[in-house]
Amino acid sequence: MYLYGEGDRENPPRGFYVRRSAVPSGPFDRINPAPIPAAAEPDFSRPAVIYRDGGLAVGSTWYYFLEVIDAQGRVRKATPVVSARVLLPNVDASGRPVRPVQEGSRTK
């Protein structure tokens, strides 16, 4: 999943938080405990957040948005809510299955 945040090369954000919910209206849980550093898109026009969300049940739909941490350390919503449907089984880097998160459960 690729999500794009705000910022530019002259004023890069400190990082991003990803928020996820099982329903579009929330509540949304912050799913990464530490900020994700921004990585430039291939054309370097804006920072991109590349986040792999694992342990989700095949066929489930999840809703996400990004929070940006600006240069002054303020956190604010940076993207609209988007949805993603899990199409393939979740496996870790070694190919072992990852235990799915039950739809409707909350994670911290």
- For residues 5 and 79, the answer to whether their CB atoms sit within 8 Å is yes
CATH number of the domain enclosing 12: 2.60.40.10
Tell me if residue 61 falls in helix, strand or coil.
Answer: strand
93 in a domain, yes or no? no
6 in a domain, yes or no? yes
36 in a domain, yes or no? yes
Please tell me the distance from the alpha carbon of residue 49 to that of residue 5, in angstroms, as a whole number.
Answer: 7
Q: What pLDDT score was predicted for residue 63?
A: 95
Question: Could you report the per-residue pLDDT of 2-50, keeping only the tens digit for each?
Answer: 566 555 566 677 888 999 999 999 999 999 888 888 765 555 555 667 7
35 in a domain, yes or no? yes
105 in a domain, yes or no? no
- Looking at the structure of the chain, the number of domains it has is 1
Residues 6 or more apart in contact with residue 57 via CB below 8 angstroms = 86, 100, 101, 102, 103
Q: What pLDDT score was predicted for residue 42?
A: 53
Q: Which domain holds residue 51?
A: 2-85
DSSP output for 7-45 = --SSS--SEEEEEEESSTT---EE--SSPBPPEE-TT-S
